[in-house]
Amino acid sequence: MKNEISIRIGNSIPEVSSALNESMIWLGQFEVSAKAQYFVRLAIEELATNWIKYGCQETREHLMTFDLRHTPDRLILKVKDNGAPFNPLNAPISSTDLPLEERDLGGLGILLLRKMADQMSYEHRDGMNILTLEKVSQ
Amino acid sequence: MSQLDIKIRSKPHSEQFREVIMTLSGSLDATTIPKFEREIATVVSTKPHRILLETADVSHIHGQAFEILNNAHMEQRRHDGDFLIANKHEVVETIRLEAGEHDGVQIVKLSGRLDIRGVASVESRFLEFFETANPQVLVDFSTADSLSSLGIRMLLQGIKNAAARGGRTLILNPTPPISAALETAGMGHFIARGTEAEIAAGFPINKK
């Protein structure tokens, strides 16, 4: 079994779908909980769409890489991109306590990841955003 | 009536390397999945060195197909074979929306993945249910297996639209990960547990 996989995408939505499919096929070989599977899908989609929307404003080529690793008890996802510096750990999140009509759910994807990840760390190095997320696999 | 055409070509590159190319066109849904499962199992049983699945002309892939793909992938690995999917950028992974009605309550069942592709394919149809006069909508999430922030925003938009028209919305039986996501989004109080009939009969009183 291959315990690691690296998936690279450019800044286009079809490539996000492709990365989701590829990650699920890889993940299918392990016994991981529905929560852990859901987390991986969520992380790829939220981080990639956020990056395409906000991180790719310049004309140069943009790439995002998802390095997924399965250990006996964890799934580790390292996400690297060369977009605008963005630290999801301190990004502003709109309140989820507002009355229904005032809610816009800005930053919801990042909030979901912060709540669901068992560990999350960020660094900006050599012009790259590097985000590491960990989720207990059972 | 949905259709799926499967063309199978065998490419004996050499005696040491045999590749089978399966080209799919049409829809991979509940109707056509049994046929696909039979065909791919037959191909896998011949233990080719590589299976190349071409999916550029597939318009719809039901979640169940991914399980079959996973199994084929693992089976190939057991004898050191490869399993590749070509043109997968073009694959549209959709979600199914089924609508019904019970005691004046609209029941909208979403099955599959409410992610970036799923939302794009059902959003306009989904939101129509919340735009009637006094809409009472029960969104059945019991067979939805993924929900991203885009899906949550779509749900919230429906709930807001219904509320603005004096209506109510409840979300029925989401799976634990989806419940957790809804709770995080501050939407846990829209979750209801029970059968469609029970919840619809007590609508909107019988909520969590």
- Within chain B, all domains assigned CATH 3.30.750.24 are found at 4-90, 96-201
Read off the pLDDT band of A59 (50, 70, 90): low
Asked if the model's pLDDT at residue B87 lies above 70, the reply is no
Query: Quick check: B197 contacting A, CB < 8 Å?
Result: no
At residue B44, the pLDDT reads: 93
Query: What b-and-e string marks burial along A56-73, b requiring 16 or more CB atoms within 10 Å of the CB?
Result: beeeeebebbbebebeee
Read off the pLDDT band of A19 (50, 70, 90): confident
Residue A76 neighbours by CB distance under 10 Å: 16
Residues B150-178: pLDDT tens digits?
A: 999 999 999 999 999 999 999 999 999 99
Q: What is the ipTM of this complex?
A: 0.88
Decide: pTM greater than 0.90. no
Chain B partners within 8 Å of A21 (Cβ) = 66, 85, 88, 91, 93
Angle of helix B33-45 versus helix B63-78 axis, rounded to 10: 0
Query: Quick check: B142 contacting A, CB < 8 Å?
Result: no
Of the spans B50-54, B127-131, B141-145, which averages the highest pLDDT?
B127-131
Class at the top of the CATH hierarchy for domain B4-90: alpha beta
B184 closest CB neighbour out of A29, A41, A112: A112
Report, as an integer, the average pLDDT of B32-52.
91
Chain A partners within 8 Å of B84 (Cβ) = none
Amino acid in the structure at residue B159: I
Q: What superfamily does domain B96-201 belong to in CATH? A: STAS domain (3.30.750.24)
CATH of A4-136 given 3.90.950.20, 3.30.360.10, 3.30.565.10, 3.40.630.30: 3.30.565.10
Q: Poorest-confidence range of A10-14, B112-116, B133-137?
A: A10-14
